[in-house]
Amino acid sequence: MRRAPTWPRHAIMLAVCLLMLVPFYWVIKTSLTGENIYAWPPSIIPVNPHLFNYVDVWYLIPFPRYLLNSVIVTIMAISGNLLFNTAAGYALTKQFPGKRWIVLLLLSCMLIPFQATIIPAYLITSWLGVLNSWLGIALPMLSTIICIFIFKASFEAVPRSLIDAARVDGLSEWRIVVRILLPLSKPAIATNVILNFIWSWNAFLWPLIVVRSPDMQTLPLGLARFLSVMEDTTGALFAFVVMVLVPGLTIFLMAQKEFIRGLTSGATKG
């Protein structure tokens, strides 16, 4: 069969990739530039490169504090999701009266974007008395409907006979989940951890609303604050950007397959 040559396709894809990578390059270049970042014309390679800007970040802003807040909120969100979604996912594999309604309720909740509820969500959080706290930031992110269904699908794939055998051996329900089902659902766990990491690590609007004091700010809020205080006058801002992006990118590159599977299964299977 006659085949078209592949080089035009490679050429297009190389051009696309180049365009996609330019923003990364430009910000890294700026963060390494030692001199005035406003110098005209901007050079393609960093002038007199050094890591001064990265050191500067530590002096200009409470970076460790932002990092601590982000890490704690992310850990809370991930552990909450693992615990609650596992439990809910397992409950949904069972037959019980009203199950259809619960599933329908969850599916319709999924169509309510969180952004459409911020005003009352703020009032509720303030009523609960957890404004300006780690719990307040993490609370709406403690359980995710998509991830419940990912766990449900994964648990349903485990052979019934295995669960029955465990039950005959006298294992309690919670132990069946922890000892039998979870070890067989590693991909679902990975998907859960990765998706929730990305969502809570990157969350901006909700923390912006809930957090009042500077020492409760997470990394995205710190970035926005840095920008509003310093404008983009210093290379340190871009060093900060690079430092904030590295964890997310690392996780993505390490677990690309689980990440993409999670997004697509979450998006298509509901």
Partner 1 sequence: MTTASARSPWYQRKQTRDIALVGCFLLPSLAVFFLYRILPLGWNAMLSFQSWSPLKAAKWIGLENYEEMLLDDDVFWDALTNTLIFIGCSPIAIALALGIALLVNSDLKGAAIYRTIVFLSYPLMTVAVGIIWRWLYDVRGGFFNYVLRSTGAIDEPVKFLQSFDWALPCVIAAEFWQVLGFYMIILLTGLQSIPQHLYEAARVDGVPAHARFLRITLPLLRPSIFLCIVVGILNSFTSFDLVYVMTNGGPGHATELLITYIYKAGFGQTRFDYAAALTVVQFLLLVVLTVIANKLSGGNAGSLER
Where in 131-160 is the site for partner 1 (CB under 8 A)? 139-140, 142-143, 145, 148
- Closest to partner 1 by CB, 23 vs 170, is 23
Q: Does 170 bind partner 1 (CB under 8 A)?
A: no
- Closest to partner 1 by CB, 56 vs 173, is 173
CB atoms within 10 A of CB 35: 11
Q: From CA 252, how far away is CA 198, in angstroms rounded?
A: 9
Quick one: which of 5, 64, 113, 170 contacts partner 1 (CB under 8 A)?
113
The contact mask relative to partner 1 for 227-256 (x = CB under 8 A, - = no) is x----x----xx--x--xx--xx-xxx--x
Q: From CA 75, how far away is CA 71, in angstroms rounded?
A: 6
Q: Does 190 bind partner 1 (CB under 8 A)?
A: no
Q: Does 9 bind partner 1 (CB under 8 A)?
A: yes
Of 270, 143, 261, nearest to 200 by C-alpha is 143
Q: Kindly give, in sequence order, each residue whose CB lies less than 8 Å from that of residue 74, ignoring residues fewer than 6 positions away.
A: 196, 197, 200, 201
We find the least distance from the C-beta atom of residue 175 to partner 1, in angstroms, to be 13
| Residue 138 backbone dihedrals phi, psi, to 5 degrees | -80, -25
We find the least distance from the C-beta atom of residue 51 to partner 1, in angstroms, to be 19
Burial tier of 97 (Cβ tally within 10 Å: 0-12, 13-18, 19+): exposed
We find the least distance from the C-beta atom of residue 56 to partner 1, in angstroms, to be 16
**Torsion from C-alpha of 93, 269, 202, 80, nearest 10 degrees:** 0
We find the least distance from the C-beta atom of residue 1 to partner 1, in angstroms, to be 8
In sign, the C-alpha dihedral spanning 118, 202, 257, 76 is: negative
Quick one: which of 5, 41, 64, 159 contacts partner 1 (CB under 8 A)?
41
Q: Does 103 bind partner 1 (CB under 8 A)?
A: no
* Footprint on residues 208-227 left by partner 1 (CB under 8 A): 208-209, 219-220, 223-224, 227
Q: Does 204 bind partner 1 (CB under 8 A)?
A: yes
169: helix, strand or coil = coil
* Residue reference for tokens 């659902």: 185
The contact mask relative to partner 1 for 51-90 (x = CB under 8 A, - = no) is --------------------------------xxx-xx-x
Q: Does 119 bind partner 1 (CB under 8 A)?
A: yes
